[in-house]
């Protein structure tokens, strides 16, 4: 379909750009990202906790604010979650409405709201001083993961800290009839895990947002222009830094509220696919 073709085109552009990135590892970030990239403004890496995780929830739809609030409170209550950061990417939302909807009084892990001036998907990967853990969970505001599944993902990441761990995967394949690469779902293999919910080292946020010079700046510009493919780019960033691919894990109760196939009319959380790692 048209949307799929756009994704493939953007992905192809990123593939080409990474030929430049590989040979362009110097240089800083753009001015809009500088304040997130200054080492003096970020916590000392040696002080980051390894036994907990910071959850970064990206939000945009005002209609999903009640769900976002519920997810933030749920993740905040987990003993292995250090903090929940709500990254709001809809600049047209009135501040009072946003703060009222997400005004949370909880004795669990702190929940903070970070409003962005633009809807850029790159903003979900900005390093932040509030991140005090070695691992972060990057997720959407319409994906619900139960405690056992999130604990499993964190444990798998702890055993493989050089890899991205996620619950949703995609694959690339060759369409022989069109002689073109396509973006698809395969039952027995995968190329990337999606930002619907992924666990990765917090240090990769800096690599994505601050490093790579002009090559990475151009790659982030593709994400900006297409409003897509930030997950593809992050998978590239981690693979380039570590030489390792992502890991797909299966969850007991993993719900993508944005997927119409999961709408059963009763709000039931469907059983997620069980996978091996």
Q: Which of 142, 211, 231, 256 is catalytic?
A: 231
Q: Record the tokens describing residue 111, joined without a space.
A: 């929940």
User: What residues does 199 pair with on adjacent strands?
Assistant: 137, 165
Euclidean distance between CA atoms 198 and 168, whole angstroms: 8
User: What residues does 114 pair with on adjacent strands?
Assistant: 87
Q: Going by DSSP bridges, is the β-strand pair 169-175/192-193 parallel, antiparallel, or unpaired?
A: antiparallel
Residue environment code for 47-66, b if the CB has 16+ CB neighbours within 10 A, otherwise e: ebeeebbbbbbbbbebebbe
List, in order, residues 6 or more apart from 167 with CB less than 8 Å away.
145, 149, 153, 193, 196, 197, 248, 249, 250, 251, 254, 272
Instruction: Please check whether residue 135 is in contact with residue 49, taking contact to mean a CB–CB distance below 8 angstroms.
Output: no
Euclidean distance between CA atoms 48 and 46, whole angstroms: 6
List, in order, residues 6 or more apart from 227 with CB less than 8 Å away.
119, 121
Is residue 231 among the annotated active site residues?
yes
What residues act catalytically? 231
């Amino acid at each position: 379909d048209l949307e799929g073709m756009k994704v493939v085109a953007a992905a192809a552009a990123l593939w080409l750009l990474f030929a430049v990135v590989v040979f362009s590892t110097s240089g800083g970030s753009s001015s809009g990202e500088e304040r997130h990239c200054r080492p003096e403004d970020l916590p000392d890496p040696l002080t980051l906790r390894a036994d907990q995780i910071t959850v970064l929830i990206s939000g945009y739809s005002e209609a999903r604010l009640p769900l976002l609030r519920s997810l933030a409170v749920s993740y905040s209550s987990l003993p292995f979650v250090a903090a929940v950061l709500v990254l709001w990417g809809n600049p047209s939302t009135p501040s009072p409405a946003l703060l009222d909807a997400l005004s949370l009084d909880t004795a669990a892990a702190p929940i903070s709201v970070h409003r962005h001036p633009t809807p850029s998907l790159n903003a979900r990967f900005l390093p932040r001083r509030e991140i005090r853990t070695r691992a972060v969970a990057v997720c959407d505001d319409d994906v619900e993961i139960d405690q056992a599944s999130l604990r499993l993902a964190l444990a798998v990441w702890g055993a493989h800290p050089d890899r991205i761990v996620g619950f949703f995967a995609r694959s690339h394949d060759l369409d022989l009839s069109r002689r073109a690469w396509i973006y698809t779902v395969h039952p027995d293999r995968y190329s990337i895990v999606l930002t619907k919910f992924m666990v990765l080292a917090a240090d990769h946020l800096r690599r994505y947002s601050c490093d790579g010079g002009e090559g990475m700046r151009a790659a982030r510009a593709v994400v900006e222009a297409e409003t897509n493919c930030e997950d593809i780019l992050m998978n590239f960033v981690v693979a380039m830094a570590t030489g390792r691919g992502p890991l797909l894990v299966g969850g007991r109760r993993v719900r993508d509220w944005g997927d119409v196939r999961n709408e059963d009319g009763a709000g039931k959380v469907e059983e997620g696919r069980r996978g091996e790692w």
